[in-house]
Amino acid sequence: MSTLILTLITGLGLGALYFLAASGLSLIYGLMHVLNFAHGAFLSLAALVGWQVAQAMGATSWWSFIVSILVGAAVGAVFATLTELFLIRPLYERHIEQVLVTVGLALASIALFEGIWGADAVNITGPGWLSQTTNVLGASIPNKFWVLILVAVLVLIALVVFLRKTRYGMIIRAGVENRAMVTALGIDVRKAFTLVFAIGGAAAGIGGVLAMHYSTYVSAHLGQTLLIFAFIVTVVGGLGSLAGAAIASVIVAVLQQFANFYLGGTGDFIVVILLAVVLLVRPRGLMGRKS
């Protein structure tokens, strides 16, 4: 029973991490129809800068942990904003060029990060409480999983409230549906679209810092590794569906954890099989809209 509980809760925590990585990706595609292959670079840069900030403040303090998350969100938002302004904005509705540019940015970013921080992974330490455990029905759950779940829920709520309840959220949704009409009303839709990228980058930045603590290491390739599962989650949930990304994150991560525990470490293989089944049976994903 304790093994079952452990597998389930760690799966939920891993799903929370996948959601943080995939939410910005899904948001940007859902509202802007841009597949951003440089999203992993947002995660990596946020993790690397967040790690340096935490080191400077004392890596084992809670204060440095919280500040590193905030810094990671800011770094991700700024990187995403610059990407949209200088690379994506001239290429809207030109999807092949978008893919080529973002793939090129991802490769160039990895090379740049390796030049600055080195190619080898660096083991990191965080607040002592993160490495401790909490007992749940006989299962000892590492506390970092509770932090992941809490942050993912807060980010999901914040994104939904922003899109549904704020003026800019309504402008963004209206601009996606009918850009010409919104522009005719005197509203600069481009600023709203840039804001979407900034929010997606901020979510990625938070995910990058927490991924560093989940993996207990940081490297220039951290974001690209996580990006693979972020794309799987985005496709399984339905391209552009934030709710679909949340549901798919849990399904993918829990299935992966159970397969790793009970089927001899075949979690990644099972996830790929799930992706293939979804693409064959329901190509638009669990909650994707019909084109």
Q: What is the pLDDT of residues 115-139, one digit of tens each?
A: 999 989 999 988 888 888 888 888 8
Give yes or no for residue 291 having a pLDDT over 60.
no
Over the range 261-277, which residues count as b (16 or more CB within 10 Å of their CB) and which as e? beeeeebeebbeebbee
Q: Which long-range contacts (CB under 8 A, 24 or more apart) does 126-130 make?
A: 126/54, 126/59, 126/60, 126/65, 126/213, 127/60, 127/61, 127/62, 127/65, 128/60, 129/62, 130/65, 130/213
Could you read off the pLDDT of 126-173 as tens digits, one per residue? 888 888 888 888 888 999 999 999 999 999 999 989 888 888 777 776
Kindly report the number of other CB atoms within 10 A of residue 281's CB atom: 7
Residue of 289, 73, 43, 18 lying closest to 176 (CA atoms): 289
Could you read off the pLDDT of 229-270 as tens digits, one per residue? 999 999 999 887 888 999 999 999 999 999 998 988 899 999
Q: Which pair of structure tokens corresponds to residue 216?
A: 């207990």
Q: What is the pTM of this model?
A: 0.92
Could you read off the pLDDT of 35-77 as tens digits, one per residue? 899 999 999 999 999 999 999 988 778 899 999 999 999 999 9
Residue of 152, 158, 160, 155 lying closest to 253 (CA atoms): 152
* Domains of the chain and CATH, by start: 2-281 (1.10.3470)
